[in-house]
RNA sequence: GCCCGGGUGGUGGAAUUGGUAUACACGCACGACUUAAAAUCGUGUGCCAUAAGGCUUGAGGGUUCGAGUCCCUCCCCGGGCACCA
């Protein structure tokens, strides 16, 4: 028996569209459930089977939640700013807008073919001016609140993309997009003060139902360390060196200071007349460091280099010892105070440094082999000897604070977010530079500020955006004083549009065009936020997922939204690899497109197989023969549908039915789609054994199957004489009573090894079971002539004799 | 180096609180149908052994009547972080 999948797919997709089956009722009375996919960048290549994995999961879950009585918001949109369309424009002269439109059309066609239950009426596109007027509006608010500022400083520059990058976009010193070696360059930039939110971004992670690994990555990225800044006087000149440390308790072991080569003191001695014996040497080392790339400098394997500043000594504030001052490139200029107190006995790096340059290593914490990093009892620390190091931290700090030689301090690895790009295809930053009024944001009524039309998209490479070459765009009037002024020409990064898009889907339910102001949407936000379930790839851990949380917290602060976090529960889908576990790639020619699978087997086989492949968060490999197994499953269901009759079911079948309801329900809740499907298969196999399938049971089965194979389920539902849509039916409920077995197989163990199984009735007590068991020939054979020392009886499960 | 995941048949993968390891699916073998093949259906399928039985969840040890599951030591694979003081 076979069925025409493509006919069924089309029929039901048309039906759903025409009867608006999945339109979200904005002001529904039901409890809401917001189920969101990370929206895609519509690339020219289209989808491969890896993309829809997350989408299938959220779609299955959305159906499940609808059937359980929730009003589900399940939207889709396009994150369409970005370099590929722009690079394509540079090559071909075709405007990115055109390319993006074409790609979206293709993506949408592919997604529709899978039959997702998106409410397409709420579709958004980040490059649509009606959308990005809001991105610009939020930027203006950030600017007004002092959270967006202009800055010129050395930032990461990708020479290939010809634009500045955020720290988050640099991976091992390479550009996250194109893998080019990133350089440092001084460019005027717009920077967002994400560091102001560092503590809240860190603390609020606790309340999120996210994978622990993603939370950990964000914690590491924020990199909070609590400690103190300690002040060392320089003996020869009037200068204080401040260092940041998390271990004030080791201060007596600080046998030298190390400064980054770009430290202020180094600049000072190079420019001023201070009596330094080895000025040339210091100058050379400093120069050499500048030439090193970040990658070279942070290479852990390399030896510790450095130069002593001969002629200067620092004074340790706690014991007044005079200690040498070094410069070395293992100390980073941009972190903490750009200098450290070196405690070689209790820090690996300082230990290496001391070994290499014959510096004093003095144990001050007892506890293990030098270098010993842990806590312990303080020694060689004057009045603090014998104190536990945890207590010593406090004690030393208190002493120094009194003398004004130290203050408590917190440091973060997280830096402010470099937010401007020197490229064409992004949201223009809505600011104007005016000679009188300095920097002035556009008025709300002047938004959106659209991108100017041009033929030339090439980045200039000079640190200026291509927009700066377009005079009609650059020259404008100041919104405040109306005099001639110039527009800001940098654009926003890729990540801007995705920082708030989950709000736009709610807004679209309120107003088609998302008109200003935000206050119009407050009630809707209150109803629909937060996103209850958010699904996407793990690669956005410290990019989109961090940036969006930052913007959301800002919007919370200015009263737009009333929940602290945007995404309550997060799930990451695992990668889908090609046959044999190799990565799918064009060059290997092993890319499988969902279109192929749909053409051959239909959308539901694709959906089922993607969910059956393995654990949702695990990396899995595609297999062609595996796909055909799913096809067989559906064909067998179709066969069973032919046997549906009004007959009274057996107790056994009833039990299995209710077990299946129970299993599928709990599995879907836990995102264990693979085992949910396998239990559906088991029930279907039970139906196959029956001459006639009880109609009532079969209908329950189809309802359970519907979220996984919606087209097919609708068709069978109709075929057995029910009215569509099965997806509008309620979710079946299991009844505990019906899951009880009348008789049990009891495992009989001798010394913990299984020797026999016997069948007993429900609720039999130990003595009765034992009596039964001892009748068994197999058991007799093992027990004969032995003494039973102990009996363990687990009701309904097993009996174990120890002999 | 540090922090998370993992390691189960030929393959993808299942196993509530410790209680029949290998569900479900793929593959394979044999049989039926067929002139034949494909498809389909049926049977079998962890390993060793003719059998009785023995062995088996990366390796070794421990706790327990009983361990894939708990504890200790180690190996391997995947991911993340990594001079952040």
Q: Which residues contact A42 (CB under 8 A, 6 or more apart)?
A: A78, A80, A100, A103, A104, A106, A107
- pLDDT tier, A39 (very low <50, low <70, confident <90, very high otherwise): very high
Cis peptide before A517 (omega within 30 of 0): yes
Q: Does pLDDT of A787 surpass 90?
A: no
- Give helix then strand counts, H and E, for chain A: 26, 33
Q: Is the CB of A660 under 7 A from strand B?
A: no
> Residue A803 — pLDDT band, cuts 50, 70, 90?
confident
Check whether residue A1 has its CB closer than 7 Å to nucleic acid strand B: no
Task: Indicate yes or no: strand B within 7 A of the C-beta of A672.
Answer: yes
Dist CA A63 CA A529 (whole Å): 19
- Answer for the pair A144, A100: CB distance below 8 angstroms, yes or no: no
pLDDT digits (tens, 9 = 90+) for A585-619: 777 778 888 999 999 999 999 999 999 999 999 88
Tokens of A611: 């969910």
Rounded distance between C-alpha atoms, residue A105 and residue A98, angstroms:
11
Measured from the CB, is A223 under 7 Å from any atom of strand B? yes
CB A239 within 8 A of CB A311: no
Q: What is the pLDDT of residue A718?
A: 96
Nearest of A79, A40, A76, A39 to residue A493 by alpha carbon? A79
* CA–CA distance, A564 with A530 (Å, rounded to integer): 9
A225 touches strand B (CB under 7 A): yes
Q: What is the distance in angstroms measured between the alpha-carbon CA of A764 and the sugar C1' of B66?
A: 22
Q: Looking at residues A636-641, what average pLDDT do you find?
A: 94
Our measurement of CA A582 to C1' B75, in angstroms, reads: 25
Listed residue (A149, A257, A229) closest to A400, CA to CA: A229
pLDDT digits (tens, 9 = 90+) for A523-549: 999 999 999 999 998 888 889 999 999
| CA dist., res. A487 & res. A434, Å (int) | 9
Sign of torsion over alpha carbons A172, A173, A178, A181: negative
Conformation bin of residue A514: beta by default, left when phi > 0, alpha when psi is -120 to 50: left
CB proximity A331–strand B (7 Å threshold): yes
Give residue A776's pLDDT band: very low, low, confident or very high (50, 70, 90): confident
Integer angstrom CA distances of residue A692 from A401, A647, A681: 86, 7, 18
CA distance A702 to A722: 11
Give mean pLDDT, residues A360-374: 87
Bridge partners of A117? none
The answer to whether A14 and A8 have CB atoms below 8 angstroms apart is: no
Q: Answer whether A792's CB lies under 8 Å from A799's CB.
A: yes
Look at the block and give the residue holding tokens 């679209």. A508
Q: What angle do CA A485, A430, A519 make, to 5 degrees?
A: 130
Nearest-5° angle of CA A470, CA A182, CA A548?
Answer: 75
CA torsion angle A688 A694 A700 A703 (round to 10):
60
CB A50 within 8 A of CB A584: yes
CA within 13 Å, CB half, A98? 7
Nucleotide nearest to A659 (CA to C1'): B16
Burial class for A369, CB neighbours closer than 10 Å (0-12, 13-18, 19+) = exposed
Q: Is the CB of A621 under 7 A from strand B?
A: yes
Better-scored residue on pLDDT, A460 or A476:
A476
3-state secondary structure of A664: helix
Kindly tell me if the per-residue pLDDT of A788 is higher than 80. Answer: no
Evaluate if residue A702 carries a pLDDT over 60: yes
Measured CA distances, A205 to A198, A211, A221, A501, A722 (Å)? 11, 11, 13, 21, 47
| Over residues A374-386, mean pLDDT | 91
pLDDT value at residue A2: 65
Rg (CA), chain A: 34
pLDDT band at A250 (very low <50, low <70, confident <90, very high): very high
pLDDT tens readout for residues A557-575: 999 999 999 999 999 999 8
DSSP-derived pairing of the beta strands A183-192 and A148-158: antiparallel
> What tokens appear for A285 in the block?
């080392």
Contacts of A163 (CB under 8 A, 6+ apart): A157, A421, A422, A423, A459
* DSSP label at residue A468: G
**Cβ partners under 8 Å of residue A28, min gap 6:** A71
Please provide the distance, in angstroms rounded to a whole number, between the alpha carbons at the two ends of chain A.
56
Residues 6+ positions from A537 with CB-CB distance below 8 Å? A38, A54, A572, A573
Residue A469 per-residue DSSP state: G
Q: Strand B closer than 7 Å to the CB of A77?
A: no
Lookup: tokens for A475: 């020259």
Q: Is the peptide bond before A111 cis (omega within 30 degrees of 0)?
A: no
Instruction: Check pLDDT > 70 for residue A1.
Output: no
- Owner of token pair 């054994």: A689
CA distance A496 to A491: 10
Which neighbouring-strand residues pair with A152? A188
Which residues have a Cβ under 8 Å from the Cβ of A471 and sit 6 or more positions away? none
A739 touches strand B (CB under 7 A): no
For residue A53, what pLDDT is reported?
A: 93
Model confidence band, residue A578 (pLDDT cutoffs 50, 70, 90): confident
For residues A500 and A135, give the distance between their C-alpha atoms in angstroms, rounded to a whole number.
8
Chain A span 458-517 residues with beta carbon within 7 Å of strand B:
none
Question: Can you tell me the distance from the alpha carbon of A141 to that of A767, in angstroms, rounded to the nearest whole number?
Answer: 78
Whether any strand B atom is under 7 angstroms from the Cβ of A754: the reply reads yes
Mean pLDDT of chain A: 91
Question: Distance in angstroms, CA of A214 to C1' of B79?
Answer: 11
Query: How many angstroms separate the CA of A792 from the C1' of B18?
Result: 14
Instruction: Find and list the nucleotides of strand B having atoms within 7 Å of a protein beta carbon.
Output: 3-5, 11-15, 19-21, 23-27, 40-42, 53-54, 65-67, 78-85
Whole-number pLDDT of residue A541: 85
* CA distances, A225 to each of A76, A244, A375, A413 (Å): 39, 10, 16, 9
What was the pLDDT predicted at A33? 97
For the segment 588-617 of chain A, residues whose CB is within 7 A of strand B: 612-615
Between A91 and A765, residue with greater pLDDT: A91
Name the residue with tokens 């609808």.
A66
CA-to-CA distance for A568 and A571, rounded, in angstroms? 10
| Helix, strand, coil fractions of chain A, as percent rounded to 5 | 40, 20, 40
pLDDT of amino acid A301: 64
Average pLDDT of A394-412? 93
Q: Does A273 score more than 80 pLDDT?
A: no
0.90 exceeded by pTM? yes
What residues contact residue A626 under an 8 Å CB cut-off, 6+ apart? Answer: A609, A612, A613
What is the distance of C-alpha A56 from the center of its chain?
18
């Amino acid at each position: 028996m076979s069925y025409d999948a493509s006919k069924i797919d089309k029929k039901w997709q048309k039906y759903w569209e025409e009867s608006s089956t999945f339109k979200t009722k904005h002001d529904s009375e039901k409890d809401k459930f917001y189920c969101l996919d990370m929206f895609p960048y519509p690339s020219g290549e289209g989808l491969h089977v890896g993309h829809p994995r997350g989408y299938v999961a959220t779609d299955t879950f959305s159906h499940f939640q609808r059937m359980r009585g929730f009003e589900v918001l399940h939207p889709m949109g396009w994150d369409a700013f970005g370099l590929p369309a722009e690079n394509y424009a540079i090559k071909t002269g075709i405007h990115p807008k055109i390319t993006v439109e074409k790609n979206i059309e293709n993506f949408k066609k592919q997604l529709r073919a899978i039959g997702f239950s998106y409410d397409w009426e709420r579709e958004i596109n980040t490059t649509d001016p009606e959308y990005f007027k809001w991105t610009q509006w939020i930027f203006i608010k950030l600017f007004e609140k002092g959270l967006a500022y202009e800055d010129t400083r050395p930032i990461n520059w990708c020479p290939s993309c010809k634009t500045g990058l955020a720290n988050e976009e640099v991976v091992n010193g390479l550009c996250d997009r194109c893998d080019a070696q990133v350089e440092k360059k001084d460019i005027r930039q717009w920077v967002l003060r994400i560091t102001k939110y560092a503590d809240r971004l860190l603390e609020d992670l606790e309340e999120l139902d996210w994978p622990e690994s993603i939370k950990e990555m964000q914690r590491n990225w924020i990199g909070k360390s609590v400690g103190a800044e300690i002040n060392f006087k320089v003996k020869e000149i009037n200068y204080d060196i401040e260092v940041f440390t998390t271990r004030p308790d080791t201060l007596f072991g600080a046998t030298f200071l190390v400064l980054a080569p770009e430290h202020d003191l180094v600049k000072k001695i190079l420019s001023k007349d201070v009596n330094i014996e080895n000025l040339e040497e210091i100058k050379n080392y400093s120069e050499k460091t500048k030439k090193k790339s970040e990658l070279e400098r942070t290479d852990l394997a390399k030896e510790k280099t450095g130069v002593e500043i001969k002629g200067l000594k620092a004074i340790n504030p706690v014991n007044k010892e005079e200690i040498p001052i070094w410069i070395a490139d293992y100390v980073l200029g941009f972190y903490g105070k750009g200098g450290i107190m070196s405690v070689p006995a209790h820090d690996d790096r300082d230990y290496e440094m001391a070994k290499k340059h014959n510096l004093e290593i003095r144990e001050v914490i007892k506890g293990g082999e030098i270098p010993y990093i842990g806590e312990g009892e303080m020694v060689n620390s004057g009045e603090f000897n014998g104190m536990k190091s945890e207590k010593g931290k406090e004690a030393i700090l208190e002493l120094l604070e009194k003398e004004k030689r130290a203050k408590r301090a917190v440091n973060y690895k997280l830096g402010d977010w470099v937010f401007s790009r020197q490229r064409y295809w992004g949201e223009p930053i809505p600011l104007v530079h005016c000679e009188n009024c300095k920097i002035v944001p556009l008025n709300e009524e002047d938004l959106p500020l659209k991108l100017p039309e041009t033929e030339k998209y090439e980045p200039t490479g000079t640190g200026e955006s291509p927009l700066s070459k377009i005079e009609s765009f650059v020259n404008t009037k100041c919104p405040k004083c109306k005099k001639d002024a110039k527009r800001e020409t940098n654009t926003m990064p890729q990540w801007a549009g995705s920082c708030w898009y989950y709000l736009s889907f709610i807004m679209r339910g309120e107003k088609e065009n998302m008109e200003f102001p935000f206050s119009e949407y407050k009630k809707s936000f209150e109803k629909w936020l937060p996103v209850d379930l958010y699904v996407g790839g793990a690669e956005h851990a410290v990019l989109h997922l961090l940036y969006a949380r930052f913007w959301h917290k800002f919007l919370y602060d200015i009263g737009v939204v009333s929940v602290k976090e945007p995404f309550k529960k997060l799930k990451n889908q695992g990668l889908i690899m090609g046959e044999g576990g190799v990565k799918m790639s064009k060059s290997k020619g092993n890319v499988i497109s969902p279109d192929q699978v749909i053409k051959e087997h239909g959308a539901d086989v694709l959906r089922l197989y993607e969910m059956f492949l393995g654990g949702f968060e695990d990396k899995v490999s595609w297999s062609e023969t595996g796909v055909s197994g799913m096809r067989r499953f559906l064909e067998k269901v179709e066969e069973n549908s032919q046997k549906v009759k009004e007959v009274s079911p057996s107790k056994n079948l009833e039990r299995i039915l209710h077990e299946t309801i129970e299993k599928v329900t709990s599995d879907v809740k836990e995102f264990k789609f693979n085992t949910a499907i396998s239990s559906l298969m088991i029930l279907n196999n039970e139906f196959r054994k029956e001459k006639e399938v009880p109609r009532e049971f079969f209908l329950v089965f189809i309802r359970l199957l519907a979220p996984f194979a919606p087209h097919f389920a609708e068709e069978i539902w109709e075929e057995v004489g029910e009215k569509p849509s099965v997806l509008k039916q309620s979710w079946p409920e299991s009844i505990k009573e019906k899951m009880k077995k009348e008789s049990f197989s009891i495992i009989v163990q001798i010394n913990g090894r299984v020797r026999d199984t016997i069948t007993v009735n429900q609720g039999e007590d130990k003595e009765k079971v034992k009596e039964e068991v001892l009748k068994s020939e197999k058991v007799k054979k093992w027990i004969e002539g032995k003494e039973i020392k102990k009996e363990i009886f687990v009701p309904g499960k097993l009996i174990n004799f120890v002999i």
